[in-house]
Amino acid sequence: MAQKLSSAAKAAKAVRDKKFAMTDERKAKKAENQRRRNAKKEELTKKYSAAYARKWLRLHDWDHKTKSWKTIKDNRGNGGEGTKKESKKKY
């Protein structure tokens, strides 16, 4: 659900989000995720089919903390704990 923000607040949030997304740590995580997704897609395509691989990847994300594939729901929710406590941790 989108946040209800004023135009000024929305613009400020966009700047903050972009700055965070371009940090070295986030760039490294994005690159790692892209490599893993491409490899997993290739693996699943060989074993099953391209359609199955695409569907599976739409439902799963790489979890940098546990170093495993998780459903998007489980990865975002952090097992019901939220993400506030882990916000400054390095993986």
User: What confidence score (pLDDT) does residue 74 get?
Assistant: 84
d(Cα 33, Cα 64) in Å, to the nearest integer?
Answer: 9
Neighbours of 88 (CB within 10 A): 5
Q: Residue 9 in 3-state DSSP?
A: helix
Q: Are the C-beta atoms of 90 and 64 separated by less than 8 Å?
A: no
pLDDT(63) > 70? yes
Nearest of 62, 63, 46, 45 to residue 54 by alpha carbon: 45
pLDDT digits (tens, 9 = 90+) for 19-39: 999 999 999 999 999 999 999
